[in-house]
Structure 1
Amino acid sequence: MKKVVIIGAGAAGMMAASVAADRGLDVTLVEKNNRVGRKILITGKGRCNITSDCEIEELIENVPTNGKFLYSAFYTFTNDDVISMFENLGVKTKTERGKRVFPESDKAHDVANALEKQIKNKKVDIILNAKVDKIVCRDNKIEKVILNNKKEIKCESVIIATGGLSYPLTGSTGDGYKFAKSVGHTVTDIKPSLIGMEVQEKFIEELEKLSLRNIAISVYNSKNKKVYDDFGELEFTKYGLDGPVIKSASCRMKDTSKENYKIAIDLKPALDEEKLDRRIQKDFQKYTNKKFEKALDDLLPKKLIPIIIKLSEIDKELVVHQISREQRKKLVHVLKNFTFTLKRYRPIEEAIITSGGIKVSEINSSTMESKLVEGLFFAGEVIDVDAYTGGFNLQIAFSTGYLAGYYC
């Protein structure tokens, strides 16, 4: 019986194990943690956004790094297949705003437990609290895997599904990159993705814990060229900016040591400058004899008002009816262009995913097999593909895991 060793029991590894076991292979799944699916438990803030209910082409569009590499994977094991798999495993799903698919229970535990039950039912040999030390090849063919306790597992195939460098407490500590390099593979530059950002503006601390909905952002590079825009939710932290639109923006941004980015927040995207000016005039009429600082209560969250007043350069003590047209126009501009200068990304340990990984030109996109070593396969985040938030990264894990398990 053909023997396959899968390194890493996350979403990609468990998917690969299930498919390989269905083919009648002798499957051993090696996991360094004391349980499988550790990272699944924290995805989607503990709710686990398993996929997106969109067209396949839209899946690919939401993978800014090497999306076309995933054509075969996404078309072979689709998002509909993911939903059907979980329904068959007893995990009912629901689709929320933005086509995001979650378990009905809102519990990531249910997803991890279902995948674990599936591989156990298929008699996959699961070795927990074990770390792979080395992958051994002979004549560019897989020969065996050696664990750090010196145990040797002879095998014809190995699937590396170790994740990236994000959330190291879940076991993603870059082991897969080391294994790939040891057998001749190239690993592209690694950086955090889907990550919060630190900004230079000191007043950011005054906005900590403030969340905004229905805002728009535009990201500009050092040449003042717009490189990304988005609409949705944002959170202010003591160090800078976070939330869904910021995490997605990080996918489109390069090394901050080589590029100076600015992020402009449109606090009122539903109103163009003319309509916003009319809205402000209406509020100013209402508060005509009040001080300026009292005239923005209907327009903005309280925490934001002192900052906007400062940036507008209008004296907060000025009575509203004394504010000039030019001052009002400046206020409109600030509200439509609340701008921050990016200092750096938060540490990679906080990233939801890692950008960079095994170079895709060295992997057969139809099978996930290495083009350099016979019997070596890759699945999930260890590959140089990463996507926006919305279930796309877990779909990558399931689809690439399926291919690796089917062809290993």
Structure 2
Amino acid sequence: MDKKVVVIGAGPAGLMAAGRAAERGLDVILAEKNDRVGKKILISGKGRCNITNSTDIEGLIENVPGNGNFLYSAFYTFSNQDLIDFLEGYGLKTKVERGGRVFPESDKSSDVVDVLLKFIKKSGVRLMLNTAVKDIITEDNCVRGVVTEDGKAMECDSVIIATGGASYPGTGSTGDGYRMAEKLGHTIVDLKPSLVPLLAKQEWVKELQGLSLKNVEITVKSKSGRKLYTDFGEMLFTHFGVSGPVILSASRHLLDYDYKDVKLIIDLKPALTEEKLDARLQRDFEKYSRKQFKNSLDELLPQKLIPVIVDLSGIPSDKFVNQITRDERRSLVRLLKNLEIEIVGSRPLKEAIVTAGGVSTGEINPSTMESKLIKGLFFAGEVIDVDAYTGGFNMTIAFSTGHLAGMNC
């Protein structure tokens, strides 16, 4: 009799796990509660899908602040290069962008989903859409089957939980896997939002809603002044605070602070030292010497930012440029290099890109992804207490752990 496996969840981890298990000749059912597979893949990377990152294995580990060492076996068994080769074997060409981010050459996340669908079809996986698994049946600490939401029982020898986290619940990630694992005795490490937009205290931030800043440097400091993180790139102002690539990456470093009592310092002109920026201001002020201060910054700053900077500078907006003192100009330079925002919280977990926390890694065998508590129970992807920065690392975790679970179930 063929060994039967039920994989719960058809995201990147579940699709990979199911395909690998079926390739081994196992009888595999992939149960997905949505009416289609890969919903989170489709929206990832702004619809382009940041598949992985081109760094080496050590680089992958370094970019997983949440239990990175747990993933050594997964990454070495199925590396980022193995993933790229696998996708290209199905005709999906890839490209590498800034920071080693790997995308489909087509810029379409749907092409990644198409490859994974071809893979599971070729492997012989039985895909069951609109099928929500409610419970896992065990006997003597061994998996015996699953029960679906409509009460139907399916016998099986192994179950792979690949249900994702609790962020973006619209994609189907509603924490089902945590509930099932906890029911079977597993420890669930507290769930927190990771890679999440941040809330700002200052009211003026709202006035900048929709403004995107490119090539800025951000530094995050604790209340005591300790530097927690620094990054360079793009950020976005919103009606509640700040978002964008550098902010999402920074947010992971604030998890232990509950996103409170920290300062975000933005260097609006990181390419210029204070001296060079001062010299640049002097040239602009000479050029616009007969204008009022509020009309003198057009060449230096985005239009939307000017009224805010003018207000924060303390220099009267209607003061003529030729009357601005050296001390006022120097103070403006410091403001442009150190625009400070107080962070007072984050958006909720459902708006986070990734869930930090999950099934405790101490209860999972890192070489196989099998539960140490229940024989025949495996985990893959975001349901495990592992999380990474932006840049394709979280997707790599999903594929690598999915591969490992599928090869060992």
**Equivalence for 1:367:** 368
**1:32/1:130 contact within 8 Å kept:** yes
Q: In the TM superposition, what whole-angstrom CA distance separates every residue of 1:172-200 from its partner, at most 9, and x where no partner exists? A: 00001001101111111111111111211
Confirm or deny that 1:221 pairs with 2:228: no
Between the aligned partners of 1:338 and 1:178, the Cα distance in structure 2 is 43
Following the alignment from structure 2 to structure 1, what is the Cα–Cα distance between the partners of residues 338 and 184? 50
Is structure 2 residue 168 aligned with structure 1 residue 178? no
- How far off is 1:37 after superposition? 0.7
Residue matched to 1:108: 109
Identity %: 58
8 Å Cα contact 2:53/2:393 also seen in 1: yes
- The match for 2:265 is 264
Shift of 1:256: 5.6
> 1:333 and 2:334 equivalent?
yes
Across the aligned residues of Structure 1 and Structure 2, the Cα RMSD in angstroms comes to: 1.2
| Alpha-carbon contact 2:259-2:343 (below 8 Å) kept | no
Equivalent pair of 1:222/1:259 in contact (CA under 8 Å): no
For residues 273-312 of structure 1, the aligned pairs below 5 Å read 273-312=274-313
Tell me the CA shift for residue 258 of structure 1. 7.5
SS of the equivalent of 2:214 reads strand
The question of whether the paired residues in 2 share the 8 Å contact of 1:64 and 1:387 is answered with yes
Alpha-carbon spacing, 1:3–1:407, altered in 2? closer, same or farther (3 Å): same
TM-score, reference length from structure 1: 0.98
How big is each residue's C-alpha offset from its partner over 1:299-350, in whole Å with a ceiling of 9 and x where there is no partner? 1001001111111101111111211111111111111111111122112221
Cα deviation, residue 275, structure 1? 1.7
1:169 matched to which residue of 2?
Answer: 170
- Unaligned ranges ≥5, structure 2: none
Q: What's the offset of the Cα at 1:224?
A: 2.2
- The aligned amino acid for 1:164 is G
CA contact (8 A) 2:9 2:164 kept: yes
One-letter amino acid of the structure 2 residue matched with residue 200 of structure 1: K
Quick one: distance in 1 between partners of 2:189 and 2:370?
A: 18
> Does 2:59 correspond to 1:46?
no
The one-letter amino acid of 1:16's match is A
Partner residue, 1:2: 3
Q: Residue type of the partner of 1:398? A: F
The one-letter code matched in structure 1 to 2:352 is: A
8 Å contact 1:256–1:343 — kept in the other structure?
no
Structure-2 separation of matches of 1:327 and 1:69: 53
Instruction: Please tell me whether the aligned partners of residues 292 and 319 of structure 1 are also in contact (alpha carbons under 8 angstroms).
Output: yes
Superposed structure 1 runs of 4+ greater than 4 Å apart:
255-258
Deviation at 1:151, TM superposition (A): 1.3
- CA distance in 1 between partners of 2:270 and 2:204 (Å): 23
1:191-246 per-position Cα deviation (integer Å, ceiling 9, x unaligned): 11111112111112211111111001111122221111111000111111010001
Asked if the contact 1:262/1:340 (under 8 Å) is kept, the reply is yes
Q: CA deviation at 1:254?
A: 2.0
Partner of 2:392: 391
TM-score, with length taken from structure 2 = 0.98
SS in 2 for 1:111: helix
1:98-125 CA-partner distances (Å, limit 9, x unpaired): 2111111111111111101210121101
Counterpart for residue 87 of structure 2: 86
Q: Give, in whole Å, the separation in 2 of the partners of 1:273 and 1:137.
A: 66
Deviation of the 1:386 alpha carbon: 0.9
Distance verdict in 2 for CA 1:306–1:258, change over 3 Å: closer
Q: Compared with structure 1, are the counterparts of its residues 343 and 139 closer, same or farther at alpha carbon in structure 2 (3 Å cutoff)?
A: same
Distance 2:212 2:258 in 1: 28
- The residue identity in structure 2 corresponding to 1:332 is V
* Amino acid aligned to 1:337: N
Whether the 8 Å CA contact 2:198–2:259 is kept in 1: the answer is no
Checking the alignment, whether the CA contact within 8 Å between 2:260 and 2:343 is kept in structure 1 is no
Equivalent pair of 2:167/2:351 in contact (CA under 8 Å): yes
Contact persistence 1:217–1:245 (CA under 8 A) = yes
Secondary structure of 1:349's partner? helix
Distance 1:92 1:224 in 2: 46
For structure 1, list consecutive stretches of 5 or more residues without a partner in the other structure.
none
Q: Contact (CA 8 Å) 1:256, 1:345: kept in 2 or not?
A: no
Matched, 1:58 2:62: no
Distance in 2 of aligned mates of 1:227 and 1:22: 45
Question: Is the contact between residue 216 and residue 234 of structure 2 (CA under 8 Å) also seen in structure 1?
Answer: yes
Helix, strand or coil for the counterpart of 1:189?
strand
Task: Indicate how the Cα distance of structure 1 residues 257 and 389 shifts in structure 2: closer, same or farther if over 3 A, else same.
Answer: closer
Distance 1:357 1:332 in 2: 45
Question: 2:260·2:344 contact (CA, 8 Å) conserved in 1?
Answer: no
Contact 1:67 1:385 in 2 (8 A): yes
> Separation in 2 of the partners of 1:270 and 1:122?
52
Q: Shift in Å at residue 360 of structure 1? A: 0.9
5-14 vs 285-294, which moves further = 285-294
Post-superposition offset of 1:91: 1.1
